């Protein structure tokens, strides 16, 4: 009878919990010995560059080098090495396809292990149905400019795009967007605002006072904007896939050069890949515009 091999005591284990909005929580259980082994490697490296009184540079014993760092710093350094590898393995093991790099949080230590929680999300479920019928059969909004006769036949492409966007957001409004993704985008917008205000020599408090908003009202406003933007993004991406829209490197490069006339050299592949996704969604919107 074959003997079962004991579990590897130094293996990093992971468990997964999913929410209905496609948020994903991965809990890593890391043996403390694995963390300690990584800390030893870090100390060996740091010892080569750390000056300790009474010892020549790079010759101080590791136990003294260790005293020059807080335990929290060493643990964080060790986890920054261990977690990316553990994350890759967890994604493969649990067949996850996350769309944002996780937020990591140390939960604590127990029974010889350190527990770390990673929170991310997958793409939301998008059931399009007959999206062309959704756009073509909706009750069109009258577009009227003061002083002119109402005439939707002369509607501009920009107005038609706005009409399509409005219809899509209304029809697919019940699709759940991952909360963590929304909060991440809201925080990015707020950080961008703070940077702009800082360059202008303004504070957030003065900005809020001038606009008559509270911090919470501003966050809620950004949350609504981000939710609609993400929803539209996912819808158009799904339609682009359904329509089998393709953008080749040459078209993406040509568009990039037109949009960035002062850019020297060639764009990076990840820039082109991102641009291709944008152009696919743009073409999906163009297809729907013809139905309005």
Q: Which domain holds residue 87?
A: 13-121
Question: Do 99 and 142 sit in the same domain of this protein?
Answer: no
Binning pLDDT at 50, 70 and 90, where does residue 10 land? confident
Q: Is residue 8 part of a domain?
A: no
pLDDT tens digits along 204-234:
999 999 999 999 999 999 999 999 999 999 9
Is 6 inside a domain boundary?
A: no
- Per the prediction, the chain carries an average pLDDT of 89
CATH of the domain at 146: 1.10.3120.10
**Based on the domain organization, do 48 and 116 belong to the same domain?**
yes
In our burial notation (b when 16+ CB lie closer than 10 A, e otherwise), range 196-235 reads eeeeeeeeeeebeeeeeeeeeebbeebbeebbeebbbebb
Residues 214 and 140 reside in one and the same domain: yes
pLDDT digit string (tens) for 81-100? 999 999 999 999 999 999 99
Q: Are residues 179 and 91 in the same domain?
A: no
CATH number at residue 102: 3.30.70.1050
Q: Is 70 exceeded by the pLDDT of residue 147?
A: no
pLDDT band of residue 190 (cuts 50, 70, 90) is very high
Query: pTM of the full predicted structure?
Result: 0.82
Q: Domain count for the chain, please give it.
A: 2
Say if residue 162 is in the same domain as residue 229: yes
The verdict on residue 27 lying in a domain is yes
Do 27 and 86 sit in the same domain of this protein? yes
What's the burial of 243, exposed, middle or buried (CB within 10 Å: 0-12/13-18/19+)? middle
**Using CA atoms, how far apart are residues 160 and 168, in angstroms rounded to an integer?**
12
pLDDT band at 265 (very low <50, low <70, confident <90, very high): confident
Domain boundary (82, 99, 121) is at 121
55 and 110 in a common domain: yes
Q: Which residues contact 292 (CB under 8 A, 6 or more apart)?
A: 135, 136, 140, 155, 160, 163, 164
148: confidence class by pLDDT, cuts 50, 70, 90: low
């Amino acid at each position: 009878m074959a003997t079962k091999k004991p579990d590897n005591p130094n293996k990093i284990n992971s468990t997964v919990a999913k929410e209905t909005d496609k948020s994903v929580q991965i809990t890593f259980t890391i043996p403390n010995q694995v963390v300690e082994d990584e800390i030893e490697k870090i100390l060996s490296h740091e010892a080569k560059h750390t000056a300790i009184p009474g010892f020549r540079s790079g010759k101080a014993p590791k136990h003294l080098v260790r005293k020059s760092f807080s335990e929290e710093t060493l643990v964080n350094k060790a986890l920054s090495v261990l977690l990316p590898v553990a994350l890759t393995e967890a994604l493969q093991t649990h067949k996850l396809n996350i769309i944002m790099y996780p937020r990591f949080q140390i939960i604590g230590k127990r029974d010889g292990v350190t527990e770390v929680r990673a929170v991310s999300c997958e793409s939301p479920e998008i059931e399009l149905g007959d999206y062309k019928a959704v756009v073509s059969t909706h009750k069109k909004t009258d577009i009227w400019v003061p002083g002119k006769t109402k005439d939707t036949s002369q509607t501009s492409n920009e107005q038609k795009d706005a009409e399509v966007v409005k219809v899509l957001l209304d029809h697919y409004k019940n699709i759940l967007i991952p909360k963590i993704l929304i909060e991440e985008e809201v925080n990015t917008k707020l950080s961008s605002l703070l940077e702009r205000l800082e360059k202008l020599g303004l504070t957030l408090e003065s900005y809020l006072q001038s606009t008559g908003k509270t911090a919470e009202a501003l966050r809620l406003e950004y949350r609504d904007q981000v939710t609609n933007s993400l929803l539209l993004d996912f819808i158009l991406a799904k339609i682009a896939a359904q329509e089998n829209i393709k953008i080749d490197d040459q078209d993406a490069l040509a568009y990039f050069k037109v949009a960035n006339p002062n850019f020297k050299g060639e764009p990076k592949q990840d820039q082109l890949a991102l641009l291709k996704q944008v152009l696919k969604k743009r073409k999906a919107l163009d297809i729907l515009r013809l139905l309005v």
